[in-house]
Structure 1
Amino acid sequence: MLDFAIFAVTFVIILVGAVLYLYPSSRRASGIPGLNPADEKDGNLQDIVNKGSLHEFLVGLHQEFGPVASFWFGGRPVVSLGAVDQLKQHINPNRTTDSFETMLKSLLGYQSGTGGGATETMMRKKMYESAMDNSLKSNFPLVLKLVEELVGKWESFPEGQHTPLCAHMLGLAMKTVTRLALGQRFHDDAKVIGFRKNHDAIWSEIGKGYLDGSLERSASRKGQYDTALSDMEALLLSVIRETRSQRERGTFVDTLLQSSLTERQVMEDSMVFTLAGCVITANLCVWAVHFLSTSEEVQDKLYQELDEVLGSEPVTLEKIPQLRYCQQVLSETVRTAKLTPLAARLQEVEGKVDRHIIPKETLVIYAMGVVLQDANTWSSPYRFDPDRFEEEAARKSFSLLGFSGNQACPELRFAYAVATVLLGALVRRLRLKRLEGQVMEVKSELVATPKDDTWVTVGRRS
């Protein structure tokens, strides 16, 4: 999916699995400081488990060994980069076709289109991006409608009623992605609910088998996963055939069908968009609304920009680039929440970072969660402060990491658009307030998701 930094829901565990499968012999990342394997078979796996998540493990690893550090996954060494300067050295000379798309499809058992070389991969990537952009452009009024329905519901709540963010934002994301990707069939909420059941079953299991083997050891879980994946594939193929016969214009599927892709390839790309698009959009919206609820000052500044740029009109795609402070709010949301704390790349040829040699076929982790809260790059790194992105240096660092500009993945660009519409409606009509005493805990996942539902209260904007 990305030929820069693998963003959005970045499956480093999938990459680990691919490395173990494709390159069974061990090559040591000699000379790089780090941990020795705690176990001959599992390497430092138990150390990761003890920390609670790979992100927390990497935080400690870089605190102890510096910006370039190593550890072991099974019998293979892994190199982690935890600072902007070191990432810059590695990213620039190492553009690769060994991307998130290839790894995710490999995990799902998809092989079509993975062996056609860099040119075919780039053409397919452009088709994917074009399909996503076209679906958003063609269906933007529908996005406005779905957001209006949600904000109207919030307006009807009694003053101070507790509102569950995760449930509402996931609902909005599911409706938006399914309608824009798959079309009118998902006008019925019952269809969306059925889609969500399979989506959640697939998403919750992706990558786990590569980390701890638990999926393969549980016949019931493996059966549920296989059934959900089979049902989702059948659904997508059915939508593709309906779209081809009825020519429902403007959807993600419709745009792909106008290309040279096979039916199977269209199904695979639709699977990637619907899986990743829902999770990224939902969690960006959750964290953005949560952080806004903690600062009336930020809400007021955003309200002022919305009033100056839009007046009483709704957000349009053409006006989104003019909402610069809103972009700063969303960028700071991604940074503060560490929305995707990990990225990774397989080293195609021998490389070098600082004085350290990285052997060919080494798995290199981009410890984004560490970098996004590095005090050497970000002043007051744990503070939510959209004003930091007024500085050119902050914007360049953020773009380098693949979170903004042309390097941002299509799913994130899609999520930014939906979140901008949502904030544009919420902030102009309501005041958001955080629930006192609420403690935000994050699941140990590769996308920052609140452990429990997050709550806000709303009041009328006078």
Structure 2
Amino acid sequence: MTNATALMPGPAGNPLVGSLFDLTRRPLRTYLAAHRDHGDVVRFRVGPPGLRVEFFGVFSPEGVHQVLGSEAANFRKENAFYDELRTSVGNGLLTSQDGDYQRQRRLVQPLFTRRRVDGYAGAVAQEARALTERWNVTPGGVVDAAEEISRFALRAVARILFGADVEEAVAVVDHSFPALGQYVWDRGFAAIRTPRTWPTPSNRRGAEAQRALYAVCDRIIAERAARGDLDEDADDLLTLLGRARGEGGEQLDPAELRDQVLVFLLAGHETTATSLAFALHLLAKHPEQRKLARQEAETVLAGREPTAADLEALPYITRVLKEAMRLYPAAALVGRRAVAQTVIDGYVIPAGAQVIISPLVTHRHPAHWPEPERFDPDRFLPEREKERHRYAWYPFGGGPRACIGQHFSMLESVLSLGVLLRDFEMEAVDQRVALAQGITLRAASPMRIRVTARGAAGLAG
């Protein structure tokens, strides 16, 4: 039996604007509270009477499976946020749909096979070595994990993308991407969106950040094209993307190359940085789990740089990362539009409705995660994972649009975390960290840890 939309539970909100203020000021807490108080499918009302709009939160693993998996074709990336993201970073894999997406996926997929991605381990090790060297000379031994890991992840993905051009790209991306990301988020969830052509301070900042990012990518792409086959031994991702050909000989044009590069910079930098930084924060607060992870790192990575083969030999550290991604998923909120009417968990979702799913909420679902706020890496022991619903944990999405880079993210995170645990003792300075929601989840307050070098355990140079 299904329930009519009119009977669907949801927060009453403010009489004048519904849940607008709650969702604007504290979106994560609002979704968590809505699930706690109203259940797995929740109706939200936003805006003043006469202009009020509705959208629907879907929080059960079964409902998420419908949205991302079994009925994925009915739930499209069509909302104000994706419109803004598409306008700002292009029509790459993250934002494209239908034929564009299928064509891009066919061209790009061969570059993300496990064997190909394993070849990026050297770049990760190189940046991990640079990070340990910097931490060894940090005054007072206190570092902000969020800032440090964001810089590390950006350098690692930029090195893989651009090869020898990494320094030029990092400087621009580090300055411009945060500004563009905030601009996209603010416009995507604004009650009223002014035209981008209006000369407001926000529009000017967003336009300048976009111009800078486009310029550095376009310049590097043009230089590669001018060199032609002279770089036949180059194996950075940008070169490989430029060489990629479909069965009919089709390839990515320069604008499409730039769009893919920007998506990879966003997804490969910010999402991995979130997971790794929160894993460090959690371990710094939990000495028992930190000891187990450090012992594994010492045993496997004794006195040498990590390689891709080490990934399978670090199961506990892998479980730590998965638990960090459960508690702090980088993509904490995901939106879709229902094309046709459908039924989820007994409730009717109307045609055209906007739907929100939230890994952050589902990853704390008490029916699937006992004591959901507790940090427990052993939730991800193989036998416990097998018992759990596929969509009780989905930091990389799922279905036909699951993240193409999930193996790379795990490779980078596990290997670099192993190096840091092997080389440093760590202790949390900040026990609590405020959260902020932008394009990705991030720390809104310092995430400081005190690091102490562990003698001669450093990387072999």
Q: Same fold (TM over 0.5)?
A: yes
Report the Cα distance in structure 2 between the residues aligned to 1:324 and 1:382, rounded to whole angstroms.
Answer: 22
- Whether the aligned pair in 1 keeps the contact of 2:68 and 2:398 (CA below 8 Å) is no
In the alignment, does 2:303 pair up with 1:278? no
Select 1:420's aligned residue among 414, 424, 427: 414
What amino acid does structure 2 have at the position aligned with 1:450?
A
**Structure 2 residue aligned with 1:19:** none
- Whether the aligned pair in 2 keeps the contact of 1:166 and 1:453 (CA below 8 Å) is yes
- DSSP-derived class of the 1:421 partner: helix
Q: 1:334 to 1:104 in 2, by over 3 A?
A: farther
**The 10-residue stretch of structure 1 (204-213 or 235-244) with the greater mean CA deviation from structure 2:** 204-213
- Shift of the alpha carbon at 1:446? 4.8
In the alignment, does 2:418 pair up with 1:443? no
**Structure 1 residue aligned with 2:305:** 314
What amino acid does structure 1 have at the position aligned with 2:333?
L
Q: What are the ranges of 5 or more consecutive residues in structure 2 without an aligned counterpart? A: 245-250, 456-461
What amino acid does structure 1 have at the position aligned with 2:215?
A
In the alignment, does 2:240 pair up with 1:255? yes
Select 2:142's aligned residue among 121, 137, 162: 162
What amino acid does structure 2 have at the position aligned with 1:333?
A
> Percent same amino acid at aligned positions?
18
In the alignment, does 2:51 pair up with 1:71? no
- Shift of the alpha carbon at 1:102? 6.5
**Structure 1 residue aligned with 2:394:** 402
What amino acid does structure 2 have at the position aligned with 1:254?
T
**Structure 2 residue aligned with 1:17:** none
- DSSP-derived class of the 2:76 partner: coil
Report the Cα distance in structure 2 between the residues aligned to 1:360 and 1:405, rounded to whole angstroms.
Answer: 23
- Whether the aligned pair in 1 keeps the contact of 2:111 and 2:240 (CA below 8 Å) is yes
- Whether the aligned pair in 1 keeps the contact of 2:323 and 2:375 (CA below 8 Å) is yes
Select 1:193's aligned residue among 171, 181, 193: 171
- Shift of the alpha carbon at 1:289? 1.1
- Shift of the alpha carbon at 1:219? 0.6
- Shift of the alpha carbon at 1:391? 5.4
What amino acid does structure 2 have at the position aligned with 1:453?
P
**Structure 1 residue aligned with 2:101:** 121
Report the Cα distance in structure 2 between the residues aligned to 1:115 and 1:283, rounded to whole angstroms.
Answer: 21
Report the Cα distance in structure 1 between the residues aligned to 2:95 and 2:19, rounded to whole angstroms.
Answer: 33
Report the Cα distance in structure 1 between the residues aligned to 2:55 and 2:437, rounded to whole angstroms.
Answer: 20
What amino acid does structure 2 have at the position aligned with 1:98?
R
Report the Cα distance in structure 2 between the residues aligned to 1:115 and 1:317, rounded to whole angstroms.
Answer: 30
Q: 1:185 to 1:389 in 2, by over 3 A?
A: same
- Whether the aligned pair in 2 keeps the contact of 1:240 and 1:263 (CA below 8 Å) is yes
- Whether the aligned pair in 2 keeps the contact of 1:281 and 1:414 (CA below 8 Å) is no
Report the Cα distance in structure 1 between the residues aligned to 2:276 and 2:167, rounded to whole angstroms.
Answer: 22
- DSSP-derived class of the 1:361 partner: coil
- Whether the aligned pair in 1 keeps the contact of 2:86 and 2:95 (CA below 8 Å) is no
Q: 1:93 to 1:356 in 2, by over 3 A?
A: same
Number of positions where the alignment pairs a residue of Structure 1 with one of Structure 2: 428
- Whether the aligned pair in 2 keeps the contact of 1:68 and 1:81 (CA below 8 Å) is yes
In the alignment, does 2:426 pair up with 1:432? yes
Report the Cα distance in structure 2 between the residues aligned to 1:145 and 1:204, rounded to whole angstroms.
Answer: 30
Select 1:149's aligned residue among 126, 130, 137: 130
In the alignment, does 2:283 pair up with 1:289? no
Report the Cα distance in structure 1 between the residues aligned to 2:227 and 2:12, rounded to whole angstroms.
Answer: 60
- Shift of the alpha carbon at 1:349? 2.3
Report the Cα distance in structure 2 between the residues aligned to 1:429 and 1:223, rounded to whole angstroms.
Answer: 44
**Structure 1 residue aligned with 2:71:** 94
**Structure 1 residue aligned with 2:158:** 178
What amino acid does structure 1 have at the position aligned with 2:443?
P
**The 10-residue stretch of structure 1 (81-90 or 91-100) with the greater mean CA deviation from structure 2:** 91-100
- Shift of the alpha carbon at 1:175? 1.2
RMSD of Structure 2 on Structure 1 (CA): 3.2
Report the Cα distance in structure 1 between the residues aligned to 2:68 and 2:227, rounded to whole angstroms.
Answer: 44
In the alignment, does 2:69 pair up with 1:83? no
Matches within 5 A, 1:189-338: 192-212=170-190, 213=192, 219-246=200-227, 248=231, 249-259=234-244, 260-338=251-329
Report the Cα distance in structure 2 between the residues aligned to 1:334 and 1:116, rounded to whole angstroms.
Answer: 25
Matches within 5 A, 1:369-388: 369-388=360-379
**Structure 2 residue aligned with 1:46:** 21
**The 10-residue stretch of structure 1 (128-137 or 332-341) with the greater mean CA deviation from structure 2:** 128-137
Report the Cα distance in structure 1 between the residues aligned to 2:53 and 2:292, rounded to whole angstroms.
Answer: 50
- Shift of the alpha carbon at 1:205? 0.9
Q: What TM-score do the two structures reach when normalised by structure 2?
A: 0.82
1:390-412 deviations in Å (ceiling 9; x for gaps): 15444644655433698652344
Q: 1:318 to 1:118 in 2, by over 3 A?
A: farther
- Shift of the alpha carbon at 1:225? 0.8
Report the Cα distance in structure 2 between the residues aligned to 1:288 and 1:415, rounded to whole angstroms.
Answer: 13
- Whether the aligned pair in 1 keeps the contact of 2:20 and 2:46 (CA below 8 Å) is yes
